Amino acid sequence: MSDFKERIIVNRGLAQMLKGGVIMDVTTADQARIAEDSGAVAVMALERVPADIRSQGGVARMSDPAVIRAIQEAVTIPVMAKVRIGHLVEAQVLQALKIDYIDESEVLTPADESNHIDKHAFEVPFVCGCRDLGEAARRIGEGASMIRTKGEAGTGNVVEAVRHMRTLMGQIRMLLSMREDEVPSFAKDIAAPFEVLADIRKSGALPVVNFAAGGVATPADAALMMQLGADGVFVGSGIFKSGDPARRAKAIVEAVAHCDDPAWIARVSEGLGEAMSGLDVRTMPEGERLAVRGW
Amino acid sequence: MVIGILALQGNVREHLANLNRHDVQGLPVRLPGDLAGIEGLILPGGESTAMRNLVSSSGLEEPVGDLIRQGLPVWGTCAGVVLLARGGIWSSVDITVVRNAYGSQVFSRLVHEKSTLSETPTPMVFIRSPRITSAGREVEIIAEVEGDVVAVRQGSILLTTFHPELVDHSPFTACFIDMVRARSARPDETPAPGHCPKEAGRTV
């Protein structure tokens, strides 16, 4: 087996170990420790959570390496961090910091409006966002070892996460049921690399783990995404922008593990305090939508 | 034959598929009621802190501990090793471990190494794996990589710090299925269940 193929197994493998888990956005070492104690399977190290990026505006970039290092030192679970779409040097910097996973993320301001990073060129694995199967397949073709549906980050509103997950899973079901001679035309329609689609048909599933992201605020939101087909959940602003972060974090972890058990979800949802307030995505101007960044 | 897989978090689907490749039925275990009738139990890879919290809130700590003491064959992979080592939830195997001892994901790797199960090197996938730092006299060492112990057996418990479930036909999967078959066929001859003596084992 070549080194390249072995790297793919190991990098997709780390995401496989995170399945059934919750990855939490944190901005300080203290928050990272709360996340780990609450049962997060990984943390996303950030300077600002998406809700603050949204309200403060300006260009959002990779975090200060000092913030990332402090969080790496605080926990033993994997630490992820975000780079701007197409910003290959930010990704090189994160690799030099020995980050566990790089998120090439639409939550930051894109550095390149045409090209995503060539992720095959890195040893560190990447997770990328998608809204449908075409976008997922393009990122996998570029070397992403994990996918997440984008949702609409920093809104506390799960509607876009649901839309993207339903679209992605629906298109996979369609791909798996079509005739062989219909695949090339479908690949063209959704602008997906044919090889990735062929791979999915052969194995019956995406070749990488797929988490839900962007708008999950409650245990029920998290369980909803799991029932719709997510392998796990990213929670960004939803935890540390809520009234009682540690309790809410634990409750969301439990709801993901027991996503098919409504009585369990009811019990962990009791008296959680205030969820983040949330934004109506329908009234949001197109320019403020993060999910449309990247292609 | 039915083998349970602790299914609160982690690499559950791959373990199920791996058992299916060996014509064995796997059953996800989330609550104590799921333990009825299983003849073996797999603790999958994942994040051990998350799993420990969920095992405790799901009420699985005691019933699984009872089954281990009765000699149920158990296989811990990666995070599962941490749960069964000294200081873990079940503290059933006389080894000490350090979590994620090899560093970040860039140090995760696939190696080919021999073991007491196979003369020919077999693939071993290490993903941010724990490191076994000591092992007691009753612990049988099955595989080592560059001087580090990576697979052990003590009584009815098998531990691998790597992921045989990610490989098509691993001798470690076959070994565990044999352990389960042997116990189901002759429950009276079950090897003594794993346990930890008071003194820690030798450093390895």
**Is there a domain that residue B198 lies in?**
no
**Is there a domain that residue B92 lies in?**
yes
**Nearest residue to A49 via CA among A216, A198, A164:** A216
Subunit contact B103:A16, Cβ cutoff 8 A: no
Subunit contact A13:B108, Cβ cutoff 8 A: yes
Over 90: is that where the pLDDT of A3 sits?
no
Q: What is the pLDDT of residue B3?
A: 98
Q: Does A73 touch chain B (CB under 8 A)?
A: no
**ipTM score of complex:** 0.93
Radius of gyration of chain A (CA): 18
Q: Using an 8 Å CB-CB cutoff, list chain B residues near A19.
A: 9-13, 46
From the candidates B119, B144, B146, B165, give the one annotated as an active-site residue.
B165
Q: Does A121 touch chain B (CB under 8 A)?
A: no
Separation between Cα atoms, residue B103 and residue A72, nearest integer Å? 11
Alpha-carbon gap: B75 to the closest alpha carbon of chain A (Å): 16
Closest CA in chain B for residue A7:
B109
From the candidates B14, B22, B78, B175, give the one annotated as an active-site residue.
B78
* Domain of B124, in residue numbers: 2-185
Reported confidence tier of residue A283, pLDDT bands at 50, 70, 90: confident
Reported confidence tier of residue A90, pLDDT bands at 50, 70, 90: very high
**Is there a domain that residue B70 lies in?**
yes
Query: What are the backbone dihedrals phi and psi of residue A58, each rounded to the nearest 5 degrees, phi first?
Result: 80, 180
Separation between Cα atoms, residue B43 and residue B41, nearest integer Å? 7
Q: What is the pLDDT of residue A213?
A: 97
Nearest to B127 among A13, A77, A98 (CB): A13
**Is there a domain that residue B67 lies in?**
yes
Among B55, B82, B106, the strongest candidate for a mutation testing the A interface, having the largest count of A CBs within 10 A, is B106
The pTM for the full model equals: 0.95
**Is there a domain that residue B12 lies in?**
yes
**Is there a domain that residue B190 lies in?**
no
Name the 3-class secondary structure at B67: helix
Nearest to B50 among A11, A16, A40 (CB): A40
Is B22 an active-site residue? no
CATH code, domain carrying B134: 3.40.50.880
Among A19, A94, A103, A119, the strongest candidate for a mutation testing the B interface, having the largest count of B CBs within 10 A, is A19
**Nearest residue to B160 via CA among B146, B173, B169:** B173
Over 70: is that where the pLDDT of A271 sits?
yes
**Is there a domain that residue B192 lies in?**
no
Q: What is the pLDDT of residue A36?
A: 97
From the candidates B15, B163, B175, B196, give the one annotated as an active-site residue.
B163
Count: domains in chain B: 1
Catalytic residues of A: 82
pLDDT tens, position by position, A153-188: 989 999 999 999 999 999 999 999 999 999 999 999
Among A4, A10, A34, the strongest candidate for a mutation testing the B interface, having the largest count of B CBs within 10 A, is A10
Helices A159-177 and A194-203, packing angle to 10 deg = 80
**Is there a domain that residue B102 lies in?**
yes
Reported confidence tier of residue B200, pLDDT bands at 50, 70, 90: low
Q: How many A/B residue pairs have CB atoms within 8 Å?
A: 114
Subunit contact A37:B106, Cβ cutoff 8 A: no
> Chain-centre distance of CA B52, in angstroms?
15
